Amino acid sequence: MALSSRTHPISLGSYLFFLLVRTVLFSHRLLPFALLNPPARAIEFWYEQTGRPVYHDTANDKELQKAGEALDAKGLTEWMWDVVYWSWGNTVPAALLGAWAWWLYAVVPLYSAWLALPTYSGARSGFSGMSAGAGREGSGGAAAQSKRQAEFQKNGSQQMQCR
């Protein structure tokens, strides 16, 4: 199935469901919806522009001018699909449960920060170890060498062999 035959109807359905439920059954608070869903709509628009093939009309037939980009690629494209899916998944609970359900959007950045914290602290401690080693080099010379370096200097005539 093509991009628009799945993505656009799902988006339209979730957004219409939200608007109908929030305007007919509950309060008319639409500001969080208006602020939090434009990134997903912008990504859908970008996918529409880059994912569709472009044809050029010739005298006899249509000729493919530009093939559409692969929308199942890893990395940024995959992350942008996650943003679209997360927007759909937050729109329905926000329609049923109220404005506080928009706080579900904060789950992903908080989880990402929680996952990145050990990486950041590990890199920070690694950099502090590098600066401590740099301070020793200028002071002692021989004390700053590792055992392997000292052994290599002691046996200076031998050359390094690959194993």
Sequence spans of domains, the chain: 3-102
Q: Phi/psi zone of residue 75: left (φ > 0), alpha (ψ -120 to 50 degrees), beta?
A: left
Highest mean pLDDT among 7-21, 56-70, 71-85: 7-21
Query: CB count, 10 Å around CB of 84?
Result: 19
What is the Cα–Cα distance from 91 to 18, expressed in whole angstroms?
6
Mean residue pLDDT of the chain comes to 75
Q: Decide the pairing of beta strands 62-66 and 54-57.
A: antiparallel
Q: Residues 18-28: what's their mean pLDDT?
A: 82
Which residue, 77, 55, 76, 78, is CA-closest to 67? 55
Q: Would you state the structure tokens that stand for residue 113, as one six-digit string?
A: 């920060």
Considering only residues 65 and 17, tell me which one the structure prediction assigns the higher pLDDT. Answer: 17
Q: Across the strands, what pairs with 57?
A: 62
Residue type, 37: N
Residue type, 72: D
